[in-house]
């Protein structure tokens, strides 16, 4: 399984918790301190977007966040459980235009911040995967 | 940390001092504050963001909404921000071209163009 997994009810007040946990795990994984602000912002954007999609779609399932520590890299996956229509499918699934604009704004910020980002969507829901390089911590001297 | 808001009048400007985190949870409070000010006839706003620790796209959306409202009354919305991590978000979204961003409240209050 992922290093740390979170599931939270799709409520705006929990997005901050996800940001704090993600930043803490990223720091431990060896993500550069200078990049932690970006990690915090990007995961917040992805979670806010998922919360919005769940609320607009009347989905009661939780938003899922997986924090994955791998060799030389750290990834965060934020998954919503809103079925996304295939391209060319039924329009209007995102509700009105304002909601669609907010959704795009969040994605714009993520793609501006994170070099390595994949956005996928299917019938089961959408997933944003963001990856940052890590530097292994220097071996600490043991007393 | 939650959001803190306070307002004061300087000449014909209303300064809104914002502190804490502006995100999907707290942004509605900022939106209400800006809407209330415009409804009460304050059309020249200066939003002081020096105390802001975190800003996301929801917060940007609220600021853009505020700008739209004051412009409908030929007003202005200026920002005060010196924090690089906050400024970066305005840059990557291209909003530095939309908002006048000042380094101090005094400068923002004195600005006329």
Burial-class residue A140 by CB neighbours within 10 Å (0-12, 13-18, 19+).
exposed
What proportion of chain A, given as a percentage, has pLDDT over 90?
A: 69
Is the pLDDT at A108 greater than 90? The verdict is: no
Q: What is the pLDDT of residues B24-38, one digit of tens each?
A: 999 999 999 999 999
Which value does ipTM take for this structure?
0.86
Q: Do residues B9 and B46 make contact, with C-beta atoms less than 8 angstroms apart? A: no
Tokens (6 digits) for B65: 């909404």
Give the pLDDT confidence score for residue A102 in this predicted structure: 67
**Residue-range definition of the domain harbouring residue B55:** 1-107
How close does chain A come to B57, measured CA to CA in Å? 6
How close does chain B come to A106, measured CA to CA in Å? 6
Contact check, Cβ <8 Å, B89/A41: yes
Asked whether residue B17 is domain-assigned, the answer is yes
Contact check, Cβ <8 Å, B61/A102: yes
> How many domains does the structure of chain B reveal?
1
Q: What is the pLDDT of residues A55-93, one digit of tens each?
A: 999 999 999 999 999 999 999 999 999 987 655 444 444
Asked whether residue B33 is domain-assigned, the answer is yes
Asked whether residue B112 is domain-assigned, the answer is no
Among B24, B25, B60, the strongest candidate for a mutation testing the A interface, having the largest count of A CBs within 10 A, is: B24
Asked whether residue B91 is domain-assigned, the answer is yes
Model confidence at B4, pLDDT cuts 50, 70, 90, reads: very high
Asked whether residue B21 is domain-assigned, the answer is yes
Asked whether residue B113 is domain-assigned, the answer is no
Q: What is the pLDDT of residues A4-25, one digit of tens each?
A: 999 999 999 999 999 999 999 9
Chain A residues touching residue B21 (CB < 8 angstroms): 16
What proportion of chain B, given as a percentage, has pLDDT over 70?
A: 98
CATH of residue B48 = 3.30.750.24
Asked whether residue B10 is domain-assigned, the answer is yes
Measured torsion, CA atoms of residues B59, B48, B20, A102, in degrees rounded to the nearest 10: 0
Is the pLDDT at A103 greater than 80? The verdict is: no
pTM of this structure: 0.87
Q: Do residues A85 and A38 make contact, with C-beta atoms less than 8 angstroms apart? A: no
Is the pLDDT at A96 greater than 60? The verdict is: no
Is the pLDDT at A1 greater than 70? The verdict is: no
Of A12, A37, A40, Cβ closest to residue B24: A12
Asked whether residue B34 is domain-assigned, the answer is yes
């Amino acid at each position: 399984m992922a290093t740390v997994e979170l599931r939270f009810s799709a409520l705006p007040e929990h997005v901050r918790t996800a940001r704090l946990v993600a930043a803490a795990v990223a720091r431990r994984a060896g993500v550069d301190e200078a990049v932690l602000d970006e990690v915090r912002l990007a995961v917040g954007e992805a979670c806010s977007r998922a919360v919005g999609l769940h609320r607009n779609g009347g989905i009661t399932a939780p938003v899922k966040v997986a924090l994955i520590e791998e060799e030389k890299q750290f990834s965060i996956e934020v998954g919503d459980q809103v079925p996304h229509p295939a391209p060319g499918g039924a329009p209007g699934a995102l509700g009105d235009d304002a909601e669609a604009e907010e959704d795009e704004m969040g994605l714009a910020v993520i793609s501006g911040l994170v070099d390595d980002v994949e956005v996928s969507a299917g019938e089961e829901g959408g997933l944003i995967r963001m990856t940052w390089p890590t530097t292994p911590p220097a071996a600490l001297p043991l007393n | 940390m939650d959001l803190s808001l306070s307002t004061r009048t300087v000449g014909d400007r209303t300064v809104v001092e914002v502190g804490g985190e502006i995100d999907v949870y707290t942004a509605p409070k900022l939106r209400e504050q800006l809407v209330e000010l415009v409804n009460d006839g304050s059309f020249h706003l200066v939003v002081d963001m020096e105390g802001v620790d975190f800003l996301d796209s929801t917060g940007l959306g609220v600021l853009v909404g505020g700008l739209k409202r004051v412009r409908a009354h030929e007003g202005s919305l200026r920002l005060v921000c010196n924090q690089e991590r906050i400024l970066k978000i305005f840059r990557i979204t291209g909003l530095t071209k939309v908002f006048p961003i000042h380094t101090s409240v005094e400068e923002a209050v004195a600005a006329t163009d």
